[in-house]
Structure 1
Amino acid sequence: MKNYIDKKKIFFASVIIIALKSIFFLTKHIQEDALISWRVARNIIEYGVYGYNGAEKISASTTHLYVFIGVLFQSIFGEGNFIYPLLVFNTILLTIGIYWLGKLLLKSTNRIILFLLFVSFLPPAIKMSILGMEFGMLFFFYMALIKYGFVERKNWAFILLPIFILWTRIDTCIFLGILFIYDVIQQRKWNTALMIGGILAVLTTVAFNWFYFGEIVNNTITSKKNNYANPTLLERWTEFKFFGPNYFGMIKFPTSIYNFSTAILFILSLISLIVLAGKWDSNRKKVIGFLFAFGIIKTLIFGAANSWFDWYYWIPQICLFLPIILIVLDIDFYKKTALAYGIFILIPFTAYQAIHSIATGHGEWNHARKIGLYLDSIEPNKDNYIFLEPAGYIPYFSKLKVIDYVGLVDKRLTEENIVKNGTEVGFSNLINKAKPKYILEDFKPMFKGKLADQSIYDDYELIKEFKIADVAKSDNPILDKIYKFKPSGRDFYLYKRKETAK
């Protein structure tokens, strides 16, 4: 007899979980890259052009589909009111994806609800809800493909969903490739529908990039490749050892501590996976086996490439931690183990992320955003350029045109080949050609006085300093301790081009 699942009970539990997670919206913790995508969406609305600076076409966002979702939400709710509806939308999609996965792996209503709760409050899952990026939607598509394609063998899912997945992020080709290979091994035959879906996904994304932007891959990928130095194998290994534990695990601690804790969690998860594989049916076994394999391979690929942006690892982190949650919920006396999990893992993890989000959100919203608002107040001509890094909060709220130090939103930096010529020469050439009205820098003097063309220093003057120490404090004693415990942000110095400059 098939186990009865009370969908109404799960629905109301999901609403409560989403409401609880929404409390994190109050931290104002939003990732810089989300604001890049939202500005591109705004550019489409205002100029009818997929770009960043007015009528110039450029694929400045890593995610085409999420940009179009941003256009929809900004059109419906308006430029100033769309953020929270979009965050709720992301959270709902993530929760549906977690529910689909829970229903595939667990056989009772209460277990599925606990699974929803435990996965939803893992630190990466919280960030997937509140940071404004596309990963809640991506997790939804991943789980849809696993449910309707990998498990239920629906050809429409194998053909259609890879298109949505690759349009969400180009690096999802890793997920699709691993799924194809894993499925071939499981089924012992080629998956023609998934092959067709993968080919259509590649053709449509490449065709859009080529016919609209005149490029095969997104400019964000090209600019990082051209403007980041290529480390040696020894340098890669050194960075891998230093940064890896802070990204392959569930939360960030000092590296010396985290090497040990990451290893312990991984071993526990691997043991849990082996135990589950020994007692589960084939469908559940192949789902959790695939997710664990994907988690390992994705983290190794990006770790070997020294790609240390948090969001690359959010979904793999969840996949690698899943067996621990599942072993807690699979045993007969799961209520006792679930209580222990809640006390020793759920509450500490949630508290950690709360502290992290309060501190980071405060630093970004009340520091970087206010710099952008200050620029908006002093510069009415929004056709003027500012040269800065990063291209997130400050450009979004200043509304000025932007050249960033990596070339994500303007291609002129890539033309200067700073890897070959060095930043001193490349930045000097760019500033002399573009003549940005403002330069926002981390240092005084500007660029530590190291620009190749020293005459640039005569062309610009320091007009304002923005000190993080002025922001990282509060009259509330608890908030003040959090801000000092985990300071977020850095000092900025704003330089303006003199009217007498050539």
Structure 2
Amino acid sequence: MTAIFQRISPAKAAFWAVFTVAVVFALYTQHAWEDYWITFRSSKNLATGHGLVYNVGDRLHTFTSPLGVLLPALASLLTANSSDPAALWIFRLMCAAALGGAAVLLVRIAQRQNYGAVASFILVAWLALDAKIIDFTINGMETGFMILFLVYALWAHLGGGPAQWRHLGAAWAGLMWTRPDSFIYIGLIAAGFWLFNDVQQSGTTRTKLLGLFLKAGLLTTALYLPWLVSAHLYYGTAVPHTITAKSGIGDPHTLAGLLDSIWHLPMRAWDDMGSMKGTFLPAYHMIGGWPAWLGQIGGGVAVVISLLWLLPFLRTEARACSFAFFGAHAYLSYFPYFPFPWYLPSTTLLGIIALGSLLAQVLQAMGRRTAGRVVIAIAALFLAGAGWTTWQVARQLQAQQQYVEDGNRRKIGEWLHANAAKGDTVFMEPLGYIGYFSQLKTYDFPGMSSREMVQTRQQVGLDWSALIEYLQPNWLVLRPDEARRINNLVPDLLITHYTPTKEFSVVDEISRLGVLGRRYLEIDSKFTVYCRVKLKSYRTDLVEIVSGFDVAQKTLDGNRLTLVHAPGRMIVKVPLKATTLDITYGFPEGAYTGEGDPTDGATFQIVWENGDRKVTLLDTTLNPVANPAHRGMQHFHCDLPAAPDASGRLIFRTLPGATTTKDWTCWSRPDFQ
């Protein structure tokens, strides 16, 4: 047995250890990230001969990573397009092998830099025990390859020799094929090695480094340019639509804003909406359910790493990785409108290497003295913390996969696939599972799969109610908070134009779970599917009426009334010089007398609109059965807001009570003065 272990090199041991951890994590959690199914829909279409598209026939660049879409397509082909789960597992094994390859290169770096056994072990072990690195390696994202090519680039920077530029160019090309924003990491790491170049360590000068980078860059261009050209020819642009869809959300970016973000970055390390705090923490930690001390330690470690490049006595690779860590977080904390967790494993790797190099240097300086043992104990404690966190994340994600992904969102997609008509469209935010398993045309927010969504956002803004009214999808899939937000803005949209058709809820099951980070699961524990109602529309030059019922004219108490059954909407143009409004409204007598159940009341609203400006003029509820004063016609008079042009309009809206029984609401013709 001893002889067997002696024949296993440290590099092989590192590969199999990291590969095994990733596979075991995948077997236990079965986690498949939402975005994998967004990309895999294009992958499957390519593998089945329908083109590299999300919707067949629509050439839209709906993925970010070339490798992240092409390798799953290959995996699907290897199954003869017969098993999506098998294709996912093949891709998982590819990514786990890539992460194992990164571990091998880390060992090579540690050997070349004389880190010693302890620092080398901790370096590889931390890679294997980081929750986000492991999860995003096996959950269908391209992170395993991102980590591999980052470590390859660092290995090439530290390598030297006549083939150095070829290794560096190949590593950079691999990064670009993995994620097109990798040029940021390429530039930051190269800048770090150039700025902190130690001639004695590297054996070269800054001038020669520039020549090296130029040759490597030319090779990178040669290797990556074919993808850019083919993407441009196929889609009309090499810019992924995912980038286009995310633009325009959040505050505008300025040079002054970026400089302010850079200057205050260390002070904001504990900011939940910044990226630094999340470097070593679970994905979406800011939602809650994790110990507060975990965030405090995570932010503190990130601050230390971000400032190591300022210490001139540290090794070149420690300073270069620290500098790239700082720069990457300056970018991630400012430019994306949210620090999405799949962006962070690259910074985590840079942090691990910076700390590993620091640990090696400290141990070499202290030797076997007591202080050295203390440093090792501290490092081991951090490693144990990383392992504990990863175990808790595994429990969280296993539950999420069981209850949220397979138990809720996948079922929604399958239900839509079974119940929607061919050519139907669906609006929702969580695109992955619902979009793939429904196979419908999707109007997702912010528009990752939909050019129509992005174009509509440019016209009407980010208001979901306005987007829905403009796009008129056949189906909506909404969380409770999303439905409430829409109801607050346009109260009749989900009553008049849509009807709740099916509820999917795992609220009770999740409430009984004893896992950390449970709040993350609660966000997607309940959805309601709404179906668009075929309404009757009546339009004249002066008025437009929308209702699910027939509209009638009626004379009551000498008033000529328009009967619009609730829920209903009547839209009237406002004359340019009008300053006041008089109108009569209410219920006819038959709504609360006679045979059958009477009305249980309705809400009458009048909203003035001009451009983006909205003013509520009337919002009152009448219940003629419970309150005799509400019987007969009510009169309303008000002053109108000043209008800059003739585009003003009044929206007369009626909303039913608990039921729509006999909700025969009516309005007189508005009188403008």
Q: TM-score, normalised by structure 2?
A: 0.63
Conserved in 1, the CA contact under 8 Å of 2:119 and 2:359?
A: no
1:116 partnered with 2:121:
no
**Separation in 2 of the partners of 1:141 and 1:327?**
22
Which residue does the alignment assign to 1:169?
A: 179
Moved more, 77-86 or 482-491: 482-491
Alignment CA distance shift 1:20-1:424 (3 Å): closer
Alignment CA distance shift 1:292-1:172 (3 Å): same
Conserved in 2, the CA contact under 8 Å of 1:102 and 1:116?
A: yes
Which residue does the alignment assign to 1:188?
A: 206
Note the alpha carbon deviations across 1:94-126, whole angstroms, 9 max, x for none. Answer: 121122023212445675455322221112222
- Give the alignment partner of residue 477 of structure 2, picking from 426, 440, 443: 440
1:250 partnered with 2:280:
yes
Q: Could you tell me how far 1:367 is from its partner in structure 2?
A: 2.2
**Separation in 2 of the partners of 1:339 and 1:278?**
24
1:364 partnered with 2:405:
yes
Which residue does the alignment assign to 2:103?
A: 98
Conserved in 2, the CA contact under 8 Å of 1:42 and 1:71?
A: yes
User: Secondary structure in 2 aligned to 1:440?
Assistant: strand
Which residue does the alignment assign to 2:323?
A: 293
Q: Could you tell me how far 1:58 is from its partner in structure 2?
A: 1.0
Q: How does 1:213-362 map to 2 (within 5 A)?
A: 213-226=235-248, 230=252, 241-244=271-274, 247-251=277-281, 260-266=296-302, 268-269=304-305, 278=313, 285-305=315-335, 306-328=337-359, 331=363, 332-333=367-368, 341-343=379-381, 344-362=384-402
Q: Could you tell me how far 1:227 is from its partner in structure 2?
A: 5.1
Which residue does the alignment assign to 1:147?
A: 155
Corresponding letter in the other structure for 1:286 = T
Moved more, 301-310 or 224-233: 224-233
Corresponding letter in the other structure for 1:322 = I
**Separation in 2 of the partners of 1:316 and 1:455?**
44
Count of residue pairs the alignment pairs up:
483
Q: Could you tell me how far 1:13 is from its partner in structure 2?
A: 5.1
- Give the alignment partner of residue 158 of structure 1, picking from 164, 168, 171: 168
Which residue does the alignment assign to 1:138?
A: 146
Which residue does the alignment assign to 1:282?
A: none
Q: Could you tell me how far 1:196 is from its partner in structure 2?
A: 1.0
Give percent identity, aligned residues only.
16
Conserved in 2, the CA contact under 8 Å of 1:291 and 1:320?
A: yes
Which residue does the alignment assign to 1:411?
A: 451
**Separation in 1 of the partners of 2:152 and 2:492?**
57
User: Secondary structure in 2 aligned to 1:243?
Assistant: coil
More strand by share: 2
Note the alpha carbon deviations across 1:244-271, whole angstroms, 9 max, x for none. Answer: 2674431156697566424431355478
Q: Could you tell me how far 1:164 is from its partner in structure 2?
A: 2.6
Alignment CA distance shift 1:270-1:494 (3 Å): closer
**Separation in 2 of the partners of 1:453 and 1:52?**
33
Q: Could you tell me how far 1:32 is from its partner in structure 2?
A: 1.4
1:81 partnered with 2:60:
no
**Separation in 1 of the partners of 2:118 and 2:129?**
17
Moved more, 232-241 or 318-327: 232-241
Note the alpha carbon deviations across 1:105-158, whole angstroms, 9 max, x for none. Answer: 244567545532222111222223222211111111122233235523523223
Moved more, 23-32 or 260-269: 260-269
Corresponding letter in the other structure for 1:410 = S
**Separation in 2 of the partners of 1:501 and 1:51?**
36
Corresponding letter in the other structure for 1:22 = V
**Separation in 2 of the partners of 1:101 and 1:38?**
31
Which residue does the alignment assign to 1:53?
A: 55
Conserved in 1, the CA contact under 8 Å of 2:75 and 2:87?
A: yes
User: Secondary structure in 2 aligned to 1:82?
Assistant: helix
Corresponding letter in the other structure for 2:144 = G
**Separation in 2 of the partners of 1:260 and 1:351?**
19
- Give the alignment partner of residue 45 of structure 2, picking from 43, 47, 50: 43
Which residue does the alignment assign to 1:128?
A: 136
More helix by share: 1
Higher Cα Rg, which structure: 2
Corresponding letter in the other structure for 2:12 = F
**Separation in 2 of the partners of 1:335 and 1:396?**
53
Alignment CA distance shift 1:181-1:116 (3 Å): closer
Structure 2: tracts of 5 or more residues without a match: 1-5, 198-204, 538-673
Alignment CA distance shift 1:179-1:323 (3 Å): closer
Alignment CA distance shift 1:212-1:466 (3 Å): same
Aligned CA RMSD, in angstroms, stands at: 3.6
Conserved in 1, the CA contact under 8 Å of 2:45 and 2:52?
A: yes
Note the alpha carbon deviations across 1:217-244, whole angstroms, 9 max, x for none. Answer: 1111111114556489899979974412
Q: Could you tell me how far 1:33 is from its partner in structure 2?
A: 1.4
- Give the alignment partner of residue 458 of structure 1, picking from 489, 492, 496: 496
1:495 partnered with 2:530:
yes
Corresponding letter in the other structure for 2:87 = F
Which residue does the alignment assign to 2:669?
A: none
- Give the alignment partner of residue 419 of structure 2, picking from 378, 381, 385: 378
Structure 1: tracts of 5 or more residues without a match: 280-284, 475-479
Q: TM-score, normalised by structure 1?
A: 0.83
Alignment CA distance shift 1:338-1:368 (3 Å): farther
Alignment CA distance shift 1:291-1:324 (3 Å): closer
Corresponding letter in the other structure for 1:174 = I
Conserved in 1, the CA contact under 8 Å of 2:277 and 2:302?
A: no
